[in-house]
A and B are shown apart, each in its own frame.
Chain A
Amino acid sequence: MSDAIEVKIERDGEAVIVSPAGDVDLHRSPAFRERLKKVAEEKPKRLIVNLEGVPYMDSSGVATLVEAMQIARRQSMTLVLCGVQTRVRSILEIARLDQLFKIADNAAAAKTM
């Protein structure tokens, strides 16, 4: 697996879609966190994190998402997760955070949620 994490960023109207690809663990979450923070600083109305390319995430990745949610709340942005795979959803459930995030099936649904 590559050391670097690939993070695609797309702008669609008032939404910004951030799509990381690959496992998000302690090795790769710092880079993901930096990209996500930079996007959040742009203060889009809607920040969508598309996780369909993330088969695995550990608590460092979850911490990145929690931090993004806190930033979103402070800046009155809407944060939506989408494309959450089974293993990633599982860690959100174990951490009891699955009810905290808005979670859509896909990016299209996340734009209207």
Chain B
Amino acid sequence: MSQADPSPSDVTVRLLSQPRFLSTARSAVMAFAKQLGFDDACCSHIALAVDEAICNIIRHGYSNAGDRPIWIGFTALETDGVAQGLRIVIEDEAKQVDPTAIKGRNLEDIRPGGLGVHIIKEVMEGVVYEPRNGGGMRLKMSRRLPSAGGGRGISALPEEDPTQPGAPATQPSRGDRA
């Protein structure tokens, strides 16, 4: 079943499904994260997660077609005007897949490829894949600032009121398409 569209993001970047735009996407998310107060290491991890998510869409969702859209939305998560972290929503128009079929592979199986999902889940919180209304898939993920209890990896976000704008996804993680 398709999920309702999330609340609008603070910043939205649209790019074509071409690997040459990955560096642009990374620069955008790093700038946003840095502005919220994430340190360089955290910014790098968040950019890596976005990079991996886009790679998955290009390779698996769009089968390397270079003329399809990808939207990346960034939203600051704030409490009483104080930054708590960020939420990232990445959407595409690729064929919808069962979110439960999108999983990271066993890391004991040493082979090239298939690491994207594991990386995303390792460095972000509240990772949720879902079908979009009208087609395509949506990835929602968030990351708290260390001052708000975030770390590399981790635990699920605490329960928050999903009706509040900017509230991070609280659904259990269900995997990725890589």
Contact = CB atoms under 8 A, between A and B. Distances in A.
B112 to A, nearest CB: 4
Closest 9 CB pairs of A and B: A27-B19, A63-B112, A59-B115, A26-B19, A67-B112, A66-B112, A63-B113, A26-B55, A58-B51
A70 B112 CA distance: 9
B interface secondary structure, majority? helix
Interface stretch (B72-80, B91-99, B116-124): B116-124
A60 B55 contact: yes
A11 B134 CA distance: 56
A105 B101 CA distance: 40
A108 interface: no
Interface stretch (A13-21, A43-51, A76-84, A87-95): A87-95
Interface size class of B (residues with CB under 8 A): 20 to 34
A67 B58 CA distance: 21
Interface string B7-23: 00000000000111011
Interface stretch (B40-48, B155-163, B164-172): B40-48
Given A25-B19, A26-B22, A94-B123, A66 B55 contact: no
Nearest to A27: B19
Contacts of B4: none
B51 A25 contact: yes
Contacts of A64: 112
The listed residue with most B CB atoms (<10 A of its CB), out of A58, A59, A100, is: A59
Contact of B107 (A23, A25, A95): A95
The listed residue with most B CB atoms (<10 A of its CB), out of A3, A60, A96, is: A60
Given A25-B22, A26-B22, A27-B22, A59 B107 contact: no
Interface in B47-61: 48, 51-52, 55, 58-59
17 contacts: A3-B20, A25-B22, A25-B55, A27-B19, A56-B26, A56-B44, A58-B48, A59-B113, A59-B115, A59-B116, A59-B119, A62-B115, A63-B112, A94-B119, A94-B123, A95-B107, A96-B107
Contacts of A27: 18-20, 22-23
The listed residue with most B CB atoms (<10 A of its CB), out of A26, A64, A87, is: A26
B91 to A, nearest CB: 19
B122 A25 contact: no
Contacts of A100: 110
